Structure formats: structure tokens, C-alpha cells
Amino acid sequence: MTEKTKVAMVGFGTIGTGVARLLLDRGDRSSRHAKGTLHLQAIVDPDTKRSRGIDLPAGLLTDDLTRVTGDPEITVVAQLIGGLEPARTIMLQLLESGKDVVTANKALLAEHGPELFRRARQLGRSIAFEAAVAGGVPIITGIGQCLAANQVESLHAILNGTSNFILTRMEERGQDYAAAVSEAQSRGYAEADPTMDVDGSDAAQKLAIMAQLAFGAQVDWKNIPRAGIDNVELADLRWACELGYRLKLLAVAQLVPEGLELHVSPTLVRHGTPLAEVRGAYNAISVVGDAVGRVFFEGLGAGQMPTASAVVGDLIDMALGHTEITFGALQLWPDGEGRVAVREPGDVSSRFYLRLNVEDRPGVLAEIAGVLGWHEISIASVIQHEADEEAPQKSIVPLIIMTHTATEGAAATAMETIDGMPFVRPGSVRMRVYDS
Amino acid sequence: MTEKTKVAMVGFGTIGTGVARLLLDRGDRSSRHAKGTLHLQAIVDPDTKRSRGIDLPAGLLTDDLTRVTGDPEITVVAQLIGGLEPARTIMLQLLESGKDVVTANKALLAEHGPELFRRARQLGRSIAFEAAVAGGVPIITGIGQCLAANQVESLHAILNGTSNFILTRMEERGQDYAAAVSEAQSRGYAEADPTMDVDGSDAAQKLAIMAQLAFGAQVDWKNIPRAGIDNVELADLRWACELGYRLKLLAVAQLVPEGLELHVSPTLVRHGTPLAEVRGAYNAISVVGDAVGRVFFEGLGAGQMPTASAVVGDLIDMALGHTEITFGALQLWPDGEGRVAVREPGDVSSRFYLRLNVEDRPGVLAEIAGVLGWHEISIASVIQHEADEEAPQKSIVPLIIMTHTATEGAAATAMETIDGMPFVRPGSVRMRVYDS
């Protein structure tokens, strides 16, 4: 590895521009750990006209993919096209033309990972994807290589920076959801259509990739139970605070004797724990390994340069030979049987936060407690303030209940019953609680 | 790498027992990422009689080092002897007999790293040392491999779990220093003689290793300016809290245009930042890279199983071939010139916290402010409460000053002048402030 490794890039958008900047402006810098310098040989993008604010050597940018697939000297390619197609087809073409491929596309891996990993393995090629989960945070190498002596027991993670930014704004500034979304958009933290970010889909895709890596779980991300922050109300952030918690969109993979629990949902995270303190657009992952205990990683999960940092890190790993070893050692293809069964969502246990809008009259709490008790859900604490004399519906008050551990199934059934009671008004909220 | 890699261990103390437990009890588990299982072939220790609470296969434990050095089938050895000798000599013997060596001994690396790394390189061998810094936290791989696309700009780290445990107890329970040390000892977090932990030496050794890795700085740890927590008083923890800070033993390496700044000292860390929230025996490192921004790592920095997790992770990396690549790519030997100059300690800038015991009379603050101004140190805030009427010396009050940025040299000279003023009593305290 004393010579330059010739690399190419397919896709020249925001991330691609960041990668080009690192490779062109700082070739000598990244060469320190890579010995030889990575040499950027070609950039392929259908749009060869638009200025990206970066000076490119003449002839580097092309709209012709065969400049890469047909050049045997190029051995390593960063595939930086978003979405599923043509990203999937181009990725297969790159693998078939003998390239090792780096990608930051988590949607592609969550959807077509098994196919792509299997094909790469058949062809003796490697795929690296540090940038696909948590941007600049080295969690893929962390789990896949550094913590290899451990059985991972659980992952609790904030994987969507947009959601975390919105929740932080709501909490710290008292902005409502719509205002916080607008601000995230104006700052470039949220897309014009932020649906995938705020509805939990993006986090579920990343969780599926991590669950494959850490537990060998082969799971379709669409089957991961998920709720987003799009229904979170300021009231719940305030109640959470009063109870000593912060509200976070938490992605969880937890190994229990009965199998692997997977879910994404707004969760009350106890104040003072590392995950509760993650602010703004940051991502974080709390990993528990059976030997190492808890290891916590935090950093920027998106953005041009943090993502480019991970992509170029992967390119260096490929040039040096790390990726071939890691990809060979990890069993990231579905030839073998899944090593762990995913648990039925209804069987997953948690503590719960309940917020009910109830009529302010005697006996209400007793009847609700009775329903919870019937479903073997015991109450840890209750908050019921007096009705606000100024409120338009004077007789309706919020009732906040924190439960002890109960199954998702029992909690859902109990809530259905409670919501049907005559003194309970629409708008009940139920969220998980995470204490450690 | 489909066959078992035969490994040996030299040194069978607490960490060694943890490593043996992972290799013997969980061979299949660690084999998942290592493909073949690591096979523990021999354990060498002068004491072959003492029970370590683990069942060993017959004949595994020996007091004869040639069982390892003379066995060409053993290619990878974990060297788990503490202290400098015979650790250094045995490490050299292992390298010379053709073994790649994993070590957790930061004192050995801080003292003899250049010699050991150079010898390994001459012999075509590798050394891995993830466990030597921050125990189970994968910071060595993080900096040396994952963030390779970045120029690291700064490291701010809590590297001594004993000190952090003591400071946490003092802060949370109001215990004084001596009581907190006793508790750390009774819980096994502090040695009978905790000097190296609490005086900043242990953190300085780890900082020297990290500075070599991140900046190519060749620095003798004994030349790193360091202060420990052994003089920290409860009063300063309380003032820090009132000002919105927590007190942490911070190890800092920061690249500025003039060179690399290195120091270890008790520092006021702003509440709400990740480092301020690190409690108990945990370690943490906040790395800033020019592309990735801030990445934060936290985990247990010591203890049997966290350290064993890092050692076995290194053994797996060696068996798979990662270490040879990383060790080859990193320039961890002093053949080349040092890539960065270490800055004169007096030139290093910081904000400062000052606590002075002064006579409670008019004009005192003005005179002290005058001295600071003379040294071009401007005052950011002052706290001076009224004298405690119950205190034995009614006329002495604490004066707390937070400065804006000033050099260490100017601050030290100003403090010398201030301490010589007739209305200033002994016991002045000066500590750095870290805001981000």
C-alpha cells in the first residue's frame, strides 16, 4: 500500500462535494493514516454543469458511469446517490465491475442490504457503510470491530438528528411542533418533506442495519414497530420534565432470553443519563456489551462534512485492507439462518408514561387504576393537578400516570379500554420510559 | 483465517483472569467476529498456585516463559504485566521471538513506547494497546482508524476513573477528599497508594499516548504540565456549581497554530456539556476533528472485564490482520521527525477560576483587579459573599474571580503578585475553565 489507491465517486451532491473536498484539498492530510494518498480519479453525476463551489481538475467530472466501471485501475468507489433506484442498480454494476463500494445510503441498505451484501460476497468484493448510520460517529466500526469480544446486550440510540433538533427546540424554547419543524427546515436540518425523519422511518432503517451488525438479526425495517415525534405535544415535554425526564426519539434493540426486542418511539429518558443530555442535531448510541459494560458514542449524525468524514474513513479502510477483513468476518448476508429471533412487539416490556384527559370528578382515578390492575399494570406514580379555572372546559384535567414494567400488549389493551370510558376524552398519550 | 489462532497470555492477575474468562468461557462468542476461535494455548505467571476463581484446562498455566517464546505456533500474545520491569524486557523477548503483542500497560508505553514500537517495526511485528487508554472505550481505534479522514484538532478527556469517582462523590455527597478516597479504595476503584491516579500522572501517561497517536507528538509524559485532584477542596466544587460548572480532572491536547498544547489539571467544565456529565468511575474523550466536528466517547476506563474486552478485541484484530495494517499505517515510532512541536506551557491560554481568601475591607477587589489588568487579564465575573458572622476569622472572605482568556504564564505571575499582597491570606486556588 505504498502507491496511491485510485478511487472514484458516483453522485455529486452535498455529501459528494464534501468527500471531494476532503480528497482534493486534503490529500496529504488523509494520507497520514492511509500511507499512500487516495487519488480521486473520476466523479460521475448526470449533472456536470451545476457549480458545487469547489474547483475540480479538468476532466474529473463526467456523466459516463463506464469511466468508472470500465477502468480497472479504479478499485474503490464511493457510491453517494440517495434513494433506492438507480442507487441499487449502480451499486450492483460497480460490484460486478470489480469495485469495492462505500455507501452512505441507509435506505438502500435497509431495503436491499441482504441482496447487495450477498452479491458482494459472491464476487469477492466488500461494502463499507460507516456513514449510513449516525454520520460521523464511528458506531459501525465500534460494534463490528472494536467491541468484537462482547456479546452486545442492548443498543439505545438517538439516530435521527432532525427529530432530536425539533425536540430540543420544543423543550428549551417552548416552541410548538410546527414552529420547531420550520426552524429545522430553515437551518437545513430538515427536508422540505420531513416525513421519513419525524415519523421514525429513518431511525428504523438505521436500527435495522445496526441490529444486523450487532445481533445478526435479519429484519425488514418496515416490520420494526415505530412511532415518530409528529404527534408529540409540548404538554408531554413539560410533564416529562416535571417527572425528571427528557423526551427523545429512541431506537432500541435489546436482547432478552426470549429474543431480540426492536422498536422506535418517543421515549421519556431519565434526566442525567447520557442519552437525555444529547441536544440539537446530534446522534448518540449507548451500547451495552457483556464484558465492556456501557459504551456511549455521540456526534453529528448528518451534514456534509461529518458524513464525508465517515465516507473518506471507509475509503481509507478499503485502501489499507481493513474493509476486506471486516466484511469477511461479519456475517452480513443471509446465507446462514438468522442467529436471533425478533420478539413479538406485544411481548416487549417497558415502563410507560400515560397522559389522559379526564373529567375532574371523584372516582375517576380509582376506575382507571382498576383497569390497569386488571391488566396487571401497576402504577408507580400519579400526577393530577387541579383544574385550571381559566380553561374553557373547566371540568377536564390531565391525569399523568407512570407505570411499573408492563408488556406493550397489556398496555395497549388497557389503554383501549380506558379510552372507551365515558369520563375519558380523546387525546390520550402513551410513551415508553427509559431509566438507565 | 479459518483456523484457530493460538494465543498466549503473560501475567495472570486481575486483567489476565478476565481475558482468560472471555477466551475460555466464551470462545464461541468472540469467534463470531473473529471467524475462527482464538485458542488460549498458555498462560505464564510466576505464581502458578494461587486460585483465580477460574477453571483452567490442565497444563495451561506455567511459570516458564519459553513455553510461549519457544512455541512458533503461538503468534499472538497478551502481555498483561504491570509496571516497567520485567514488563519491558518480557515484551522485547516476545517481539524477538516473533510474536505480535497486545498490552494494557500504559505506564510501559508512556515510558518505553518509542523503543518498543521501533523494535516491533524492525522485527516486522505489531503492538496493539487499545486497553492502555480508557479501558473499554475504543478510543485508540477511534482516533487511529475511524477518524483517519480528519486532522484531529483537540482532545479533551477524563482519563482517570479513580479521580472522577472521588470528584463525583465529593460533589454529590459533600464528602471531603479524604473520605472520598477511602470510599474509592473500599470499592476497589483506588489502589492502597492512589498517588499516580490522583496526582495526574496516570492521566498524563494516557494523554502522551493519545497525543502520539492523534498528532504524532513525541512527548515524555513527565514533561506534560500536570496537577491532580489531591488538593481539591469541597469549597471549589461548591463555587464551581454556583457558577454553572463541574470540576473534572481534564487531560487536554489542543492543536493551535503555534503548536500542540498539552496539560492535565482539575478544570471547571461547563454544566450541560458531555464531559461535565461524566459521573463515577467512567472515562470519556471528546475529540474534535476538522471534518467530523465533535465526537464523544464514554465508558468504563478500568476494571477487570472492560479492560479484558479491549484486550480480547485487540487479540481478535491481530488474528484477523487489522493490527498489522493499523500498526503499519500509524507512524508510532520515532524514525521521522516529530510532526508537531509541543508548545511552551506558559504560552497556553485558558480562562481561569480564582479563589482568594481576602480581608473583608474596601479597596481589596480594586487592587486585585489592578494586578490582573496589569497582566492583561480581564475579569469576566466576580462573586464575593458577605462574611460569615459565625466564622472564626470574621474578617476573611472568599473572593471568586472568573477571568477571560489569559496565558498560563500571565496568570501564574499575576497570582504570585496577588498572593504577596498583605490582605491576601494563604490558600489561593487557580484552575482552568472549559466552556464547550
Q: What is the pLDDT of residues B147-163, one digit of tens each?
A: 999 999 999 999 999 99
Query: Could you read off the pLDDT of A236-274 as tens digits, one per residue?
Result: 999 999 999 999 999 999 999 999 999 999 999 999 899
Weakest-pLDDT range from A337-346, B13-22, B250-259: A337-346
Do B291 and A148 make contact, defined as CB atoms within 8 angstroms?
A: no
Q: What is the pLDDT of residue B337?
A: 54
Residue in B14, B22, B33 to test binding to A, most A beta-carbons within 10 Å: B33
Q: What is the pLDDT of residue B334?
A: 58
Q: Which one from A6, A99, A106, A206 is the annotated catalytic residue?
A: A206
Q: What is the pLDDT of residue A31?
A: 44
What is the predicted ipTM?
0.94
Q: What is the pLDDT of residue A177?
A: 94
Mean pLDDT over residues B406-419, rounded?
96
- The per-residue DSSP string of B59-122 comes to T-EES-THHHHT-TTEEEEEE---SSTTHHHHHHHHHHTT-EEEE--HHHHHHHHHHHHHHHHH
Neighbour-count burial of A45, counting CB atoms closer than 10 A to its CB (0-12 exposed, 13-18 middle, 19+ buried) = buried
**C-alpha distance across the termini of chain B, in Å:** 45
Confidence class of residue A193 from pLDDT cuts 50, 70 and 90? confident
Query: Could you read off the pLDDT of A11-41 as tens digits, one per residue?
Result: 999 999 999 999 987 654 444 555 457 899 9
Residue of chain A nearest B141, judged by CA positions: A146
Residue A424 pLDDT more than 70? yes
Do B147 and A309 make contact, defined as CB atoms within 8 angstroms?
A: yes
Q: What is the pLDDT of residue B387?
A: 64
In the DSSP assignment, the letter for residue A394 is T
Residues 6+ apart with CB under 8 A from B217: B211, B253, B260, B262, B338, B339, B340, B342
Q: What is the pLDDT of residue A387?
A: 64
Q: What is the pLDDT of residue A126?
A: 96
Query: How is residue B283 written as a grid cell?
Result: 472515562
For chain A, the average pLDDT equals 91
Q: How far is CA B231 from the centre of its chain?
A: 19
Q: What are phi and psi of B99, to 5 degrees?
A: -95, 145
Within chain B, what is the greatest distance between any pair of CA atoms? 81
Confidence class of residue B30 from pLDDT cuts 50, 70 and 90? very low
Residue B98 pLDDT more than 90? yes
Mean pLDDT over residues B251-279, rounded?
95
Residue B97 pLDDT more than 90? yes
Query: Could you read off the pLDDT of B308-356 as tens digits, one per residue?
Result: 999 999 999 999 999 988 888 887 765 555 578 899 999 999 999 999 9
Q: What is the pLDDT of residue A347?
A: 93
The three-state secondary structure class of A30 is: helix
Do A316 and B148 make contact, defined as CB atoms within 8 angstroms?
A: yes
Query: Could you read off the pLDDT of A59-68 as tens digits, one per residue?
Result: 999 999 999 9
Task: List Cα–Cα distances, B170 to B165, B179, B187, B271, in angstroms.
Answer: 9, 9, 15, 16
Give all domains of chain B, ordered by start, each with its CATH number.
5-135+306-329 (3.40.50.720), 139-301 (3.30.360.10), 345-434 (3.30.70.260)
Q: What is the pLDDT of residue B218?
A: 85
Cβ atoms of residues A177 and A166 within 8 Å: yes
Dihedral sign for Cα atoms in the order B279, B284, B288, B294: negative
Do A35 and B329 make contact, defined as CB atoms within 8 angstroms?
A: yes
Within chain A, what is the greatest distance between any pair of CA atoms? 81
Percent with pLDDT over 70 in chain A:
94
Weakest-pLDDT range from A183-197, A233-247, A387-401, B182-196: A387-401
- The continuous run of DSSP H or E covering B37 comes out as none
Confidence class of residue A328 from pLDDT cuts 50, 70 and 90? confident
Residue B109 pLDDT more than 90? yes
For chain B, the average pLDDT equals 91
Residue of chain B nearest A33, judged by CA positions: B329
Query: Could you read off the pLDDT of B35-82 as tens digits, one per residue?
Result: 457 899 999 999 999 999 999 999 999 999 999 999 999 999 999 999
Confidence class of residue A103 from pLDDT cuts 50, 70 and 90? very high
Q: What is the pLDDT of residue A260?
A: 95
Concerning whether B206 is annotated as a catalytic residue, the answer is: yes
The minimum CA-CA distance between B226 and chain A, rounded to whole Å, is: 27
Residue in A130, A137, A171, A295 to test binding to B, most B beta-carbons within 10 Å: A295
Residues of chain A with C-beta less than 8 angstroms from the C-beta of B305: 291-293
Do B328 and A289 make contact, defined as CB atoms within 8 angstroms?
A: no
Confidence class of residue B124 from pLDDT cuts 50, 70 and 90? very high
Q: What is the pLDDT of residue A35?
A: 47
Confidence class of residue B393 from pLDDT cuts 50, 70 and 90? low
Query: Could you read off the pLDDT of A71-85 as tens digits, one per residue?
Result: 999 999 999 999 999
Confidence class of residue A192 from pLDDT cuts 50, 70 and 90? confident
Residue of chain A nearest B215, judged by CA positions: A32
Q: How far is residue A296's CA from residue B144's CA, in Å, rounded to a whole number?
A: 18
